[in-house]
């Protein structure tokens, strides 16, 4: 293998300035959390990973349109709903 110069001390200088902010929030989508709380969490830049307990269409109807209107994404994956804020894409290439 050839040599290559890897300087970890200066690597931060080359990172994008638009670092993702927010957290991955784990929760249960069962109707007990008001839809506004999910919308506010996504608006703050959080990604939601919600275990679905019940009828997804009924449970997500209170916030799905708001998420889409703010250019967020929703993806049903197995028994979970993944919700991302604007600018954070849900990559499904490996599925």
C-alpha 47/C-alpha 43 separation (Å) is 10
Tokens of 84: 């991302």
Beta strands in 5-59 (DSSP E): 24-29, 47-52
* Angle made by CA atoms 65, 71, 72, in degrees to the nearest 5: 75
With beta carbons less than 8 A apart as the criterion, state whether 52 and 79 touch.
yes
**pLDDT tens sequence for the chain (95 residues):** 555 566 666 666 655 555 557 999 999 999 999 999 999 999 999 999 999 999 999 999 999 999 999 999 999 999 999 999 999 999 999 98
CATH architecture of 21-84: 2-Layer Sandwich (3.30)
Domains in the chain: boundaries = 21-84
């Amino acid at each position: 293998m050839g040599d290559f110069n890897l300087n970890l001390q200066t690597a931060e200088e080359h990172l994008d300035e638009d670092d993702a902010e927010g957290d991955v929030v784990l929760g249960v989508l069962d109707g007990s959390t008001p839809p506004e709380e999910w919308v506010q969490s996504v608006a703050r830049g959080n990604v939601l990973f919600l275990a679905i307990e019940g009828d997804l269409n009924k449970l997500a109807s209170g916030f799905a349109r708001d998420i889409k209107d703010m250019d967020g994404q929703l993806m049903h994956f197995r028994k979970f709903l993944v919700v991302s804020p604007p600018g954070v894409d849900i990559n499904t290439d490996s599925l």
